[in-house]
Amino acid sequence: MSAAEPTTTILDGSGVGPGGITRVLTEVVRHWPAGHRLRVVAAPPSWPVPADRAADVELVSHQASGRAGAIGAATATLRRVTAGAPRDRTRVLSLSPSAAILGSRLPVTTVVHDLAFRLWPHDLSTAVRQYRRVSYGAAVRRSARLLCVSARTRHDLLGLYGVADERTAIWHPGSDLAAAGDLPTPLADLSRRGGSWLVVAGHAPHKGVELAVDALAELPGHTLAVLTGGHRIDRFSAAVRRAGVADRVLFLGHLPEPEYAATVAGAAAFLMPSHFEGYGLPAAEALRLGTPAVVSPDPALHEATAGRAVRMTAWSAEALVAAVTAAVGGPRPAAGGHGRSWRTATEHLVGLLAAEPSTRPAARVAG
């Protein structure tokens, strides 16, 4: 089956949660090529189909409430929509590992973003670790092919699950954003006063925001804007109280894409002092917007930014201060000069879906 031939792709979103994976869903749907049909199963609650899409898109269902209910409903829906579908004209793509793919009557390709639940399980409840163990195990067993967003994730699949490289491929997401809009009110007020801000991704415990908070005392003249995505982390609030810098930290809730782009584009630097990443899309987006990026020593972040970010030499506040000082003191990156567009990334994804896997799924799945 050629990638140029019109097809129907059933896109499973049951494993998609807050953060960068939701952006991946939105941009992939937005840039899916015209003439190819998409049927989206179990999209996140309230997720809207992009109005500026090119393809024929049908939103079959949103995620049901509760983890068990969401997976059960998605499994049943996948079973229904794949039953009787022509195998030579229909493909199934899961945007993140999910046990719901067990309901598919057709081969499945799964995108794997990271294996954080195995390599950085801190702060995850026992229930979440067990759920991810089941969902990732199902994805490894059932998927005909696994697409890894970084070489680091591909390496982790081999080491933890014994998945041979012949059964995987690397797919880097796009990094372009819509033109920047208005700043959120707190930053607009700060900008009018001539203030400068640093932005840090902060919607999950492994993002290392506590390092940015501890570094703030040695970074005078900057306010720290924490992007929570609507998921405020208690330990980060506690770190702010402990450091006594509440007057210089802004916790921002979920931002519409234009406000997000304006916030990042207007920052003195974008920080990702993460303890673990599978890729690091926000850092790549910052560079593409022309904002200096500072990243931790994590290898996936180095890969996502192609070595163009200033890299911390250790996971410490001191190393972050040195990296921010270097980033802010140097020339700003050229806007649009890093990464690839979502259109290019989606075309690559469509091509990977059309390719036949060279090996069958492995029988062994490590716990």
List, for residues 215-252, the tens digit of each pLDDT value.
Answer: 999 999 999 999 998 889 999 999 999 999 999 999 99
Domain co-membership, 102 together with 158? yes
CATH code for the domain of 272: 3.40.50.2000
Query: What pLDDT does residue 1 have?
Result: 47
Quote the mean pLDDT of the chain: 92
* Structural domain total, the chain: 2
Using the predicted structure, report yes or no on whether residue 189 has a pLDDT greater than 90. Answer: yes
Q: pLDDT tier at 179 (50, 70, 90 boundaries)?
A: confident
Unique residue bearing structure tokens 């801000």: 197
Q: From CA 69, how far away is CA 139, in angstroms rounded?
A: 19
Using the predicted structure, report yes or no on whether residue 100 has a pLDDT greater than 80. Answer: yes
The 10 Å Cβ neighbour count of residue 114 is 23
Residue 367 in any domain: the answer is no
Residue 361 in any domain: the answer is no
Q: From CA 75, how far away is CA 102, in angstroms rounded?
A: 7
Query: What pLDDT does residue 5 have?
Result: 60
Domain co-membership, 159 together with 197? no
Segments forming the whole domain that contains residue 92? 8-174+342-354
Domain co-membership, 319 together with 255? yes
Query: What pLDDT does residue 99 have?
Result: 96
Residue 359 in any domain: the answer is no
Residue 43 in any domain: the answer is yes
Domain co-membership, 18 together with 69? yes
Domain co-membership, 239 together with 315? yes
Question: How far from 133 is each of 79, 99, 265, 356, CA to CA, in Å?
Answer: 22, 10, 37, 27
Q: pLDDT tier at 349 (50, 70, 90 boundaries)?
A: very high
Using the predicted structure, report yes or no on whether residue 357 has a pLDDT greater than 80. Answer: no
The 10 Å Cβ neighbour count of residue 331 is 6
Q: From CA 7, how far away is CA 342, in angstroms rounded?
A: 20
* Residue pLDDT, tens place only, 50-80: 999 999 999 999 999 888 899 999 999 999 9
Query: What pLDDT does residue 86 have?
Result: 93
Which of the 8 DSSP states describes residue 62? B
Residue 363 in any domain: the answer is no
What does pTM read for this prediction?
Answer: 0.90
* Residue pLDDT, tens place only, 115-172: 999 998 888 889 989 999 999 999 999 999 999 999 999 999 999 999 999 999 999 9
Residue pair 153/279 in contact by the 8 Å Cβ criterion: yes
Q: Which of 310, 265, 254, 309 is nearest to 291 (CA)?
A: 265
Domain co-membership, 122 together with 244? no
Could you tell me which residues come within 8 angstroms of residue 178 by beta carbon, excluding any fewer than 6 positions away? Answer: 257, 258, 261
Q: pLDDT tier at 322 (50, 70, 90 boundaries)?
A: very high
Using the predicted structure, report yes or no on whether residue 272 has a pLDDT greater than 90. Answer: yes
* Residue pLDDT, tens place only, 16-30: 987 778 889 999 999
Query: What pLDDT does residue 219 have?
Result: 97
Residue 257 in any domain: the answer is yes
Domain co-membership, 118 together with 149? yes
Burial class (CB in 10 A: 0-12, 13-18, 19+), 216: buried
